[in-house]
């Protein structure tokens, strides 16, 4: 029987997360077509925080350029993409205003609320996928594939670091296998 790989991300940076259950994540399609903002997107939380104080599944790493001229307009595009994935929130959200006629940059992780899995596990290894700053996927699908190749049941502590000014971007996580 084929087991599906589940992705788990812990929150470390937000004080409210310290006493909460660890969050979770799941993979989704990497190609997300832009959609016009719908009124429902305004209720989707977009936060620069790394965690929400509750378990979440990471659905995708969002990282794109836009012609949005303000943070609000840019985050509305981020919300639209996250809603299209079925996300409940976007964490690690960043907006960098473009200079002159250059596009603005947006990034974050689309997440869905989950429940904690308290089973004991063994760490199989740390995975770090480096990608070109301008690549669309940002290595999330490769992270999942490498975890599957290790025999992992989940990837925990998922993080994304956007490469700045030509530097490589990194998506990282810890591959784990549950004990029988």
DSSP string, 34-93: --PPPGGGGGSEE-SSS--SS-EEEEEEEEEEE---SHHHHHHHHHHHHHHHT-SEEEEE
Burial of residue 47 (number of CB atoms within 10 Å: 0-12, 13-18, 19+):
middle
User: What topology is assigned to 1-180 in CATH?
Assistant: Translation Initiation Factor IF3 (3.30.110)
pLDDT tens readout for residues 113-168:
998 889 999 999 999 999 887 777 789 999 999 999 999 999 999 999 887 777 89
Task: Map out the domains of the chain as residue ranges.
Answer: 1-180
From CA 148, how far away is CA 88, in angstroms rounded?
A: 26
Kindly report the pTM of this predicted structure.
0.74
- Read off the tokens for 146: 């490498």
Q: What pLDDT does residue 21 have?
A: 37
Q: What pLDDT does residue 98 have?
A: 78
């Amino acid at each position: 029987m084929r087991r599906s790989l589940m992705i788990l991300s812990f929150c470390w940076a937000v004080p409210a997360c310290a006493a909460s259950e660890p969050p979770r994540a799941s993979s989704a399609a990497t190609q997300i077509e832009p959609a016009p903002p719908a009124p429902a997107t305004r209720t989707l939380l977009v936060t620069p925080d790394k965690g929400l104080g509750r378990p979440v599944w990471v659905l995708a790493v969002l990282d794109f350029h836009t012609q949005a001229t303000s943070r609000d307009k840019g985050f509305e595009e981020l919300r639209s993409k996250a809603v299209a994935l079925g996300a409940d929130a976007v964490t690690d959200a960043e907006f960098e205003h473009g200079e002159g006629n250059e596009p603005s940059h947006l990034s974050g992780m689309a997440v869905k609320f989950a429940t904690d899995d308290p089973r004991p596990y063994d760490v199989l290894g740390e995975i770090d996928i480096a990608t070109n700053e301008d690549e669309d996927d940002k290595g999330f699908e490769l992270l999942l594939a490498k975890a599957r190749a290790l025999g992992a049941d989940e990837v925990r502590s998922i993080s994304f670091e956007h490469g700045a000014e030509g530097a490589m971007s990194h998506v990282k996580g810890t591959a784990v296998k549950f004990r029988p």
